[in-house]
Each structure stands twice: as structure tokens, then as C-alpha cells.
Chains A and B, each alone.
Chain A
């Protein structure tokens, strides 16, 4: 006798293949979304950290001689201020470099006043910006102190909104998986009316029929969503190689940690499970309407 019983619902290419392909795609998109979201979040916190631990003092005096004097005084004050780890005057060249993104690399005429900037590294916990401002004022320095907190806050806000949008996209993909699984279930039910009615005749319950669909679509759902996830990881690896080879790349790197991989696996499991249980649920629901009234 055969040891393993034949599945009551035979696997059928016509419903299974499209379902498989679509879940692979959904899982791929969902995984990419998750990778982008994770990397972006991590990059954004690194940037925020950078921004928070640095600050800029801009000396606003217009007269060049006065300006140089004030810079020297400001540097002296900064050296003795608690919470300032280092302070360094930017050279004109560096200054210009900073401006390049905004005004291009054209050579500025020398007589254009470029604001003098002092870049400082700070230890936020010990720095008291008000005390620093008073110190500057007392010394007659006209300076603007920018601790970058507004930019850090904006960056964080932007990322929060982006995360929300990416989360919403994940939900859409799960929704699409629900829809396609329900659709595939209906086409299996239609194609297998004869089997469903025999099952009814021999006393199978709706739950039994539903479980047949769960069984049938569970491994398919998992296989498809894992495939999509692996493809997404490959895509991430390709992107990294491409980014590393590029000359016009900034620091954005995809580096996944174990916890990221686990979350991706979790996502695939969710998609596989959603596929199987949608199938079970819609099968149970539609046998009620498909079968005769009794």
C-alpha cells in the first residue's frame, strides 16, 4: 500500500504557477521595501548622530581684519568651554568646498565675503549653548551658533514619514497576496467541483475542505515567498557591488545584520501563512455558497 496518501486536492499547474509567480514578486517587493527601509533608517540615524555631535559657529563680522580677530577670540573661548571636543577654523578652500553643492564649482572672486566658519565637535551632554552664546557676546564676538538640531530633527521627521509610507506599501503587498490567494482558491474550487461534492457526500465538513486548501497552499506560499526573499537579497548584493564599483557613490551601503535577515524571513513566513490561510478561509466560505443549499 502507498505509505503517503495522495493529496485529495491534486496539485494543478493552471492555478499554481501564476500564484507562485505572483507571490514571488510580492515577496521580492516586500523584502526590497524592508531592506530599503532598514538601510535608510540606519543611514539616517548615522547622519543624525553625525549632525548632533557636530556644530558650526559662524562669525558674521564683515570687516576682514575684525573677522580674523574675532575668529581667534572665538577659538580661545571654545577651547575652554566644557563639552567642546575640538574646534577648527575652516580654511577658505574648505569653505568654498562646502558651498560647492549650492553654487557650483565656479571660482568665486576673492573679494566676495565668504562667512568664516568654525567647525566643532561637541559632547552634547556637557555643552551649554546659552553659556557659550553669553561668552561670545561678552567678548564682543558676533557669531551664530548652529548645533544642527533643527536639521537632525527634520531628517528624523522625514524618515519617520518615509517609514510610514514604506510600511503602508508592505501592507499593500500583503493585501495583494490575500487577493491573489483568494482568487487562486476560487479557481481551484471551480476546477474541482466534482471532488468537493464527493467530499460533501462522504461527510467532510467545511473545515476539512478548508484545511485541504491550507495544506495545498502552505508549502507553495512558503516556497514562493522564500524565493522572493532570496531574490531580494541577491538584488541587494548586486546593488552593493554596483555601488562599490561606482565612482559617483556616497556612503550608502547595504549591510544586513542577522536580525535583518531574521526579519526578512519573518516577512516571508507572514506572506506564506497569509497565502495558506486566505486559501483556507475563502474555501470554507465559498463551499457554503457553491454547494447545494443543504
Chain B
């Protein structure tokens, strides 16, 4: 991971260190460069810091030291509003899924469009098709609290991809679904990747990782190392 990048990576961490509050550092001097259209799995023991690393990338956390750049721009030095609009180019499936409980499945999925000020009606068909594809075509008007764990997960995934983001970041996106659905969702990610999206997925799911040709990263001892399958 220490190689000097001559190309312009889409995601780049430079000597990044991070800690929560006054606790010990979770990573020290981590470097990372992910090219456009790359597909990466991030693994590591529970508590190793996978979610934290992804949060650094999708700008939900800021590093204690070091630089985080997206699309060649240092996000820590960016204007608050520029950073906010930059988030529209990043689809995120967080580990807790973070659906809004009083909005319907359809409204949760189309929230990124609404937040970007886009006319939701124009994308109604796209959203329906997407929800159909993840097996939720019949649940458009359902509220999240009545969905199963796996269904919540799929809503979160649909929301992450509705914008056709340049970067897709997913934290354990298949933890709650059966292997068949897991594979189907993975196909959604690889499909997007083929169309140009840079994908990074944190997972424990060995069956997910083994199926496809992807880069492997692993967090161990506060360092990021090139890994092989678990």
C-alpha cells in the first residue's frame, strides 16, 4: 500500500490516523489509494476499525491526522457546503442502515434525490424498478419499522445506488440476507462497478468475497494491509 501513486486515485488516504475522543488510535499512518472503477473488499476482525475507515472515506468522521482526498481533492480542507454536495457522488450503506422510520420504503430510497433538490417524480420509474430488483416491489409504501432485517438492508442498498454514485461504500451490506440474496445484491454492485462506480465493501462474508475478482484489504494492528481472502 506504500506505493507512490502517479495516477489520480478516486479515494486516497495519506498517513491517516484516527482516534475517538481521547481513546487510543484505531489506525496510525494509514495510506490507501483506490483507482477509479476498482472493486475492493475490506476485511478485518470485529472491532478492527472497518466501519471507522469507511466513515473516514464517506466523511462521517474526520481524521485526527493525515489527509483524505476524494476525486483528487483534500476533503478536510474543503468548504462545508462543497463537502456536502460531494456526498451526493458517494452512495453509502452504513452498518446500521440508517433509514428514516416515518418515511416509506419508496421515500427512503428516493431521499438522496430529494436532498439534491431533484424532482422525485422524474425518477419514480427508476426507483420502482430498482426496488423490484431487490425484491421489494410490493413494499413501496411500507414503513421501515415493519420490515425484516434483510429488507431494511436492501432498502439501504437501493438508497445508496439510486443516484448512480461514483463511489459506493457498503458496510456489511449482506449481513442479514440469505446467500442467494447476497449473491444477487453482489451482482448489483458488480454491475455498477462495470458501469464505472468505484466500490468498497466491508464484510465478514467469505462466500461473498470468494465469488468475484476483487482487491482485498485487511485491517490488522492498526494498519491496513493487502490481504487475500479471509
Is B88 within 8 A of A203, CB to CB? yes
Q: Is the interface of A mostly helix, strand, loop or mixed?
A: loop
* Chain A residues closer than 8 Å to B115, beta-carbon distance: 199, 202-204, 208
State which of B98, B103, B104 has its C-beta within 8 Å of the C-beta of A8: B103
Given contacts A294-B59, A294-B62, contact A205 B159 (CB under 8 A): no
| Interface segment, one of A18-26, A49-57, A190-198 | A190-198
Pairwise interchain contact B98-A201, C-beta atoms closer than 8 A? yes
Known A-B contacts A201-B98, A294-B61, A294-B75; the reply to A8 vs B84 at CB < 8 A is no
Give Cα A241 to B130, complex, Å.
Answer: 67
A contacts with B, residue count (CB < 8 A): 24
* Residues in A whose Cβ lies below 8 Å from that of B62: 292-294
In Å, the complex CA distance between A195 and B144 comes to: 14
**B83: chain A residues within 8 A (beta carbon):** 294
A203:B80 contact, CB within 8 angstroms? no
Report Cα–Cα, A194/B84, bound state, in Å. Answer: 17
Cβ of A257 within 8 Å of any chain B Cβ, yes or no, is: no
Determine whether the beta carbon of B103 is less than 8 Å from that of A205: no
Interface residues on B, range: 35 or more
In the bound complex, how far is the Cα of B99 from the Cα of A6, in angstroms?
Answer: 14
Q: A2-B141, A205-B81 are in contact. Are A294 and B76 (CB under 8 A)?
A: yes
Q: Is there contact, CB below 8 Å, between A6 and B81?
A: no
CB B177 to nearest CB in A, in angstroms, measures 21
Interface residues of A in 73-94 (CB under 8 A from B): none
13 A-B contact pairs sorted by A residue (CB < 8 Å): A1-B124, A5-B114, A8-B111, A8-B114, A194-B98, A201-B58, A202-B111, A202-B115, A203-B85, A203-B116, A207-B81, A294-B59, A294-B83
Using a CB–CB cutoff of 8 Å, the interface residues on chain A facing chain B are 1-2, 5-6, 8, 10, 194-195, 197-208, 288, 292-294
